[in-house]
Amino acid sequence: MRKRFDMADTQLPGVSGPRFTIPKLPPVKQKKPNYRAKPGVWQILSKLLAAKLPLKGLTISRFDDSNEHLFWEECRVEAVRTLKSALIVGIAAFTVFNTFDLIYSVPDAQRCLRLLAVTVLLILLYKLSRAARPQDCVNVVAKTSTAVCASSVLIILLAERNPAFYSTTWAGLLPLYFFCYGQLFLYLAEALVFGLTAMAATIVCGLWLGVEEKQLALSAFLLLLINLFGYCTRIQLENHSRRAFWARRTAEMAAEHKSQFLRQIAHNLRQPLQAINCYASVLDVAYHAKPLDSLRPVVDRMGTAIDDLCNAFNCVLDISNLETGKKRPVLAPVSINQLLFSLENQFAPLAEKRGLRLKFHLRTQPPYTVFSNIGMLSQVLSNLLDNAIKYTAAGWVTVGAVKAGKDRLKIHVYDSGSGIACGMHEDIFKEFFRGHRRQADSQGLGIGLAYVNAAINTMPDHSIKLSSRLGKGSDFQLYLPMFPSQARLVQTFIPTQGLQDKLIFIVDDDTEVLTALTRQLEAWGCNVLAACSLAQTLVLLKDCCLPPDLLITDFYLQAQETAHDIIAAVHDDCGPVPCLVLSACAIPPQEKAKWPANTHLLRKPANANVLKETLVRAMSGP
């Protein structure tokens, strides 16, 4: 409760009358003075230092050890040519000074010093030019040449003993500062050490020569400014280079991760695709044995869809491998007539089915041979022919090879189809671009021409050109380098005998693929022995009285078994047997080198025609 005054208790001094009581109030806490309300100089400086505002652009963010090594490796590879030019300029400058020395009768000691500098620079230039890896010498050559040039300049100044030459001498060090700070020859610490050491040595020489204090102070101040600006410039230059390197490195790592992801899923996708392909082939054979008109369209469309899916899958992986550099073509002589003959046999049934006239013009006079990669060139022409037949409703498709210049051959793939608008000539080579295709039976993913473009860009001296107008057909012109020796190659073609009653031994650890492939071969009239491991293979070989006509095996099996173990077991029991390695994984070259003669390779998924053709080729001998 609030206290009331009692007039009888307290008597005010100097006042007569009744006394009253003054209540005792609680003490009031006084606030301490706020000294931070007006910050002083030290507070301002401490905040600036804590914020590090002046140093934000003057620091270098370094990478981890591996990326730091790659960064400097790239910088020095690019710096080799610049360093050679700088050495040539230094040699020329000292040579000009030597010429002046002869004209103006400079003492022999100075001429000898400059000649010595020229000799050292020539030796360094020779070492840099003759080194197997010149980038490894960049740092040593740069430090040595810088030290030699700076030392010769200062020693000549001391030898002249004339303070009047001091102003021109220290100014002569400026190109060396630009050399150290303006290029990534040296590490930042090394460039800074050189700059400060050269500045200190110049001042010491000036003191020893008795240069005026005013001139010494001015030169010291200017050299300090040059070091400061050189340091800042070098920081900005190196940070810019590091950002560019990291952006490129990030893109490379993203591409590598993409490629690694595709490789990881490739095996899991190829296996079911191979099984689907085999079952479709079994269904096709069963239909021909007991035809049902209602099933014919279903069988045809299913087979077409499966082939398109397999081709698209292979194209996507091939494009990825080409773009990331995992697949590099090995060029060799290729017979044009043999290649065109094989393509004619492959695409003639498809053209006849669509009611098109397919005409191949083989060469009747040299050149007969080009320098290319047979696998990639065949795939490129196959994609072009497949597109030409798909998108030509009626008319013809013509393929021919003509000479284009002294060292090039040109292959035309010409059709009378709907044509391509001029504005789409570049876009059709992009992934998943299909243009204005309106044919109901011309389905596709738009990656066939993307593979063509990627493959052509990978093979040296190969190019492609398109001539087409809407409604006037299309002419794809493929330019290939000719092989130097144009002797006619012996034309060897694949025999066409069937697979009836052939004994085929199959080994695959994927039971679905094993079952599907067994049924496919049995539908072709083959006798099949199937195993899923090395142990089962040995059991079947022991029970079998006849050697197999062909061995088909996956490369990587379970329990760390490979095709090498299967092939060795079959050869030990039956002698040399033709082999076909049917694998979903890429096989390293060192593994292929271990295979015996007459061993072939197919990647899953392989369509029925390619599989049958490979089987016939393998059993026909090497």
Answer yes or no: is pLDDT of 294 > 70: no
pLDDT at position 88: 92
324: confidence class by pLDDT, cuts 50, 70, 90:
low
294 and 155 together in one domain: no
Q: Residues 570, 574, 575, 578: what is their CA dihedral angle, to the nearest 10 degrees?
A: -60
Q: For residues 359 and 351, what is the distance between their CA atoms, to the nearest angstrom? A: 10
280 and 318 together in one domain: yes
Answer yes or no: is pLDDT of 59 > 80: no
pLDDT tens-digit map of 85-96: 999 998 998 888
The last residue of a domain, from among 481, 507, 534: 481
101 and 137 together in one domain: yes
311 and 350 together in one domain: no
pLDDT tens-digit map of 575-610: 888 999 988 777 787 888 888 888 888 887 777 777
507: confidence class by pLDDT, cuts 50, 70, 90:
very high
What percent of the chain has pLDDT above 90? 7
Answer yes or no: is pLDDT of 52 > 50: no
pLDDT at position 506: 93
523 and 622 together in one domain: yes
pLDDT at position 10: 43
349 and 459 together in one domain: yes
Q: For residues 604 and 611, what is the distance between their CA atoms, to the nearest angstrom? A: 10
560 and 441 together in one domain: no
CA angle 227/230/234 to nearest 5° reads 140
526 and 509 together in one domain: yes
* Residue 371 near residue 486, CB atoms below 8 Å: no
Q: Provide mean pLDDT across the span 119-138.
A: 90
Answer yes or no: is pLDDT of 300 > 80: no
CATH number at residue 309: 3.40.50.2300
Q: Provide mean pLDDT across the span 47-63.
A: 59
Task: Identify the weakest region by mean pLDDT among 119-128, 129-138, 231-240, 416-425.
Answer: 416-425
Asked if the structure places residue 433 within a domain, the reply is yes
Give me the domain span that covers residue 297. Answer: 260-327+494-622
515 and 403 together in one domain: no
Answer yes or no: is pLDDT of 503 > 90: no
Asked if the structure places residue 34 within a domain, the reply is no
Answer yes or no: is pLDDT of 20 > 70: no
Closest of 449, 445, 451 to residue 432, by C-alpha: 445
CATH number at residue 405: 3.30.565.10
Answer yes or no: is pLDDT of 4 > 50: no
Asked if the structure places residue 557 within a domain, the reply is yes
Q: For residues 10 and 3, what is the distance between their CA atoms, to the nearest angstrom? A: 15
Q: Chain-centre distance of CA 297, in angstroms?
A: 44
The last residue of a domain, from among 481, 515, 538: 481
Six token digits for residue 23: 């209540």
Asked if the structure places residue 23 within a domain, the reply is no
499 and 453 together in one domain: no
Answer yes or no: is pLDDT of 493 > 50: no
Name, in order, each residue with C-beta under 8 angstroms of 300's C-beta and a sequence gap of 6 or more: none
Sequence-ordered strand ranges (E) for 362-462: 369-372, 395-403, 408-415
pLDDT at position 43: 53
What percent of the chain has pLDDT above 70? 77
Can you tell me whether residue 37 is helix, strand or coil?
Answer: coil
- The number of domains in the chain is 3
Asked if the structure places residue 553 within a domain, the reply is yes
Asked if the structure places residue 6 within a domain, the reply is no
Closest of 187, 198, 176 to residue 234, by C-alpha: 187
pLDDT at position 552: 92
CA angle 140/145/151 to nearest 5° reads 125
pLDDT at position 33: 45
Q: Chain-centre distance of CA 217, in angstroms?
A: 55
79 and 206 together in one domain: yes
312 and 174 together in one domain: no
The last residue of a domain, from among 481, 509, 538: 481
Asked if the structure places residue 323 within a domain, the reply is yes
Task: Identify the weakest region by mean pLDDT among 27-36, 218-227, 266-275, 568-577.
Answer: 27-36
Q: What are phi and psi of 106, to 5 degrees?
A: -75, 150
Answer yes or no: is pLDDT of 163 > 90: no
Angle between helices 213-289 and 65-103 (to 10 degrees): 130
User: Residue 403 burial by CB count (10 A; 0-12/13-18/19+): exposed, middle or buried?
Assistant: middle
Q: Which helix (H) or strand (E) holds 470?
A: none
**Cα first-last separation, the chain:** 118
Q: For residues 338 and 161, what is the distance between their CA atoms, to the nearest angstrom? A: 84
Q: For residues 570 and 550, what is the distance between their CA atoms, to the nearest angstrom? A: 10
Task: Identify the weakest region by mean pLDDT among 38-47, 386-395, 419-428, 540-549.
Answer: 38-47
pTM of the model: 0.48
